[in-house]
Structure 1
Amino acid sequence: MKEKKFSLRLDQSLYDQIAAQAKAESRSVNNFIVRLLQENSQKESLESRQFVGQIIKGSEILTDSALVSVNGIYYRYSLSNVDTVDSSASYVISDANGNILTLTQLT
């Protein structure tokens, strides 16, 4: 991979924070910034952008087929903080990975 060099201006206090975090991870400041940029430039899926944070009623989760309908599309699901679906509870979509949504029961 060809590298591109460029100047970056940072406020001294921001630089100091970044340098401290880089040191804590045994990285150079440059390597730390590159890693942050790589992690934060990953494209999110449509499901992540559109569904994460959406509330689902437990009664809308199809436990017999292990599917949940979100905006008219059926997705597989996994539960993050409980073992079984409570039809009287509400759930938030806390993650979306491909066609699998992670549901977290709200208390």
Structure 2
Amino acid sequence: MKIAQKVVTAVFAAATVFSVVGCAGTSTKEGTGEYVDDAVLTTKVKASIFNEPTLKTTEINVETFKGTVQLSGFVAQPGDITKAGEIARGVKGVKSVKNDIRVK
């Protein structure tokens, strides 16, 4: 009888653990604080790119998720792709940059 009780207890404990693990958050969502931080980073990167006179900022899009900045859009010269990436990396708080800018 004691063995059966131990087995039932173990099964119950395992079910509880799996239920709690199933409720854990995913990394595809961000909290309010992270969202605000990302919005601030996006604004800082856009402002830095805007202040670079050689880049056409109206054709460069900036998005940020958990500190990773994604650049997309079009530029006139291949060197502008590198320049935009360098500017974004230079902004304080940027963890990494994914540069998807293309030459028009």
* Greater C-alpha radius of gyration: 2
- Please report the TM-score for the alignment, with normalisation by the length of structure 2: 0.29
Answer 1 or 2: which has greater helix percent. 2
TM-score between both structures, scaled by the size of structure 1: 0.29
